[in-house]
Amino acid sequence: MANSEQLGWTLDKVQKEISNSTFLNNNLGGMLRTLKIGAAEAVAMAYPNHNWSYLIDRGGYVLTKVQAQEIRKLYASGIINQRQIAIKYNVSPSQVNLIVKNKVFKEDIKN
């Protein structure tokens, strides 16, 4: 697993910035799919003595649930495109795509 030592990250940075995208970008997406877990669960398994509540609460995303809701609404409205949303939220377009396609946040959005 890409741990904090391999990435050169402190545990604080891992808690703030690790995401499903980090695993995908480091060719570890297959591990998550095979184990049927997200980044939050993988990090919690690797570091069981650390408090990962914030990471778990955000479901493996760099963004919060509220930000994910905003992204889904913006994307659905068609006002701005995926790249513009990525720039606005300082994430990659692939992260926007994961949030838009992921059903985790669908129940939080009122159409």
Give percent of the chain above pLDDT 70.
Answer: 78
- In this prediction, residue 84 carries a pLDDT of 93
Query: Mean pLDDT score of the chain, rounded to an integer?
Result: 76
What sign has the CA pseudo-torsion 26, 86, 84, 65?
A: positive
Please check whether residues 51 and 12 belong to one and the same domain. Answer: yes
Torsion of CA 48, 56, 101, 107, to 10 degrees: 140
Shared domain for 39 and 11, answered yes or no, is yes
Q: What tokens appear for 47 in the block? A: 């570091």
Which residues span the domain enclosing 20? 4-57
My answer on whether 9 and 50 are in the same domain is yes
Same domain, 51 and 86: no
How much is the pLDDT for 52? 79
Q: Is 8 in the same domain as 53?
A: yes
Do 73 and 49 lie in one domain? The reply is no
**Does pLDDT of 88 surpass 50?**
yes
Task: Looking at the structure, tell me whether residues 45 and 88 fall in a common domain.
Answer: no
Same domain, 39 and 74: no
Q: Tell me which range, 9-18, 33-42, 52-61, 99-108, is most confidently predicted by mean pLDDT.
A: 33-42
Q: Which amino acid is at 46?
A: A
The domain tally of the chain equals 2
Give the pLDDT band of residue 101 (cuts 50, 70, 90). confident
Torsion of CA 6, 12, 15, 20, to 10 degrees: -30
What pLDDT shows up at residue 90? Answer: 76
Q: What is the reported pTM?
A: 0.50
Q: In this predicted structure, what is the pLDDT of residue 1?
A: 44
Same domain (yes/no): 42, 71: no
